[in-house]
Amino acid sequence: MTDRKDELAANLAKVERRIADACAAAGRARDEVTLIVVTKTYPASDVRILAELGVRHVAENRDQDAAPKAAACSDLPLTWHFVGQLQTNKVRSVVGYADMVQSVDRARLVTALSREAERQERELGCLIQVALDAGESGRGERGGVGPGGIEELGDLVAGAPGLRLAGLMTVAPLTGPYAGREQAAFERLMDLSTDLRRAHPAANMVSAGMSADLEQAVAAGATHVRVGTAVLGVRARLG
């Protein structure tokens, strides 16, 4: 193995251990939690190594970075998640490679994604990004809709051709009542997921937890954790 492959294999093993321990501590089966590796700012060669090491889900947050990487890796058996703030002028590109958009947070974006998914004859899974630092009906610093906006947006996605409402996503807030209380934030997301599933039973994905707080997310009931740094290393620039 190359040095990089050794390094990624060792990091993946550590993250796998953490997820397995968190599942055991929570009385959950290991297969209830899916690891998504966030490959933003890292090259396509790393994505290829991750696929060789058994990773099946990767995530990106900037189309400029992601589009060429996804094209270079189109032969790999990967599911691509888009997790960044998404401008409508990038929708055409993103729908070209993403299987899932986790950052759906406004009606205009739903309309654009639906139109493009239909045009490209793709089915796109959508998660509503919930901002827990925004108040009931505000918008988050880093994207996302306040809890009061979930129902309307969920109904809109569920009725949009080409889109499939898959669930909810959040990032632990840095400000507001949940700052520094990751597990409470993720438990709130679970409650919101329970509400959403009353109307949309299949929308059962709960994407929460990153390198620093994946244990709290697993404890709260997350189905997907999004881990970058702990697998690939500290990013050289903001991403």
Ligand X SMILES: *Cc1c(COP(=O)(O)O)cnc(C)c1O
Supply 58's token pair: 């990767």
Shortest reach from residue 238's CB to ligand X, in Å: 10
11 counts as binding ligand X under rule CB under 6 A: no
State which residue, 202 or 212, has the beta carbon closest to ligand X. 212
8 counts as binding ligand X under rule CB under 6 A: no
Place of tokens 């404890």: 219
Site for ligand X (CB under 6 A): which residue of 18, 40, 90, 188? 40
State which residue, 61 or 193, has the beta carbon closest to ligand X. 61
Q: Which of residues 128-187 bind ligand X (CB under 6 A)?
A: 171
DSSP 8-state assignment for residue 162: T
Place of tokens 């991403």: 239
Residue 58 β-bridge partners: 37, 80
Residues 47-66: x where in contact with ligand X by CB under 6 A, - otherwise, as a string: --------------x-----
Specify the stretch interacting with ligand X by CB under 6 A; choose among 74-82, 118-126, 156-164, 224-232. 224-232
For residues 38 and 58, give the distance between their C-alpha atoms in angstroms, rounded to a whole number: 6
Shortest reach from residue 19's CB to ligand X, in Å: 13
Site for ligand X (CB under 6 A): which residue of 51, 53, 190, 210? 210
For residues 159 and 193, give the distance between their C-alpha atoms in angstroms, rounded to a whole number: 18
Q: Which amino acid is at 119?
A: R
Query: Which residue has the CB atom at the shortest distance from ligand X?
Result: 228
Shortest reach from residue 56's CB to ligand X, in Å: 17
228 counts as binding ligand X under rule CB under 6 A: yes
Q: To the nearest 10°, the Cα dihedral for 74, 75, 81, 87? A: 0
Rg of the chain, C-alpha, whole Å: 17
Residue 1 exposed, middle or buried by CB count within 10 Å (0-12, 13-18, 19+): exposed
Site for ligand X (CB under 6 A): which residue of 38, 58, 95, 101? 38
15 counts as binding ligand X under rule CB under 6 A: no
For residues 94 and 23, give the distance between their C-alpha atoms in angstroms, rounded to a whole number: 33
85 counts as binding ligand X under rule CB under 6 A: no
Say if CB 153 and CB 107 are below 8 A apart: yes
Shortest reach from residue 104's CB to ligand X, in Å: 13
Please provide the size of the chain in residues.
Answer: 239
State which residue, 55 or 162, has the beta carbon closest to ligand X. 55
- Return residues touching ligand X (CB under 6 A): 38, 40, 61, 83, 171, 210-212, 226-230
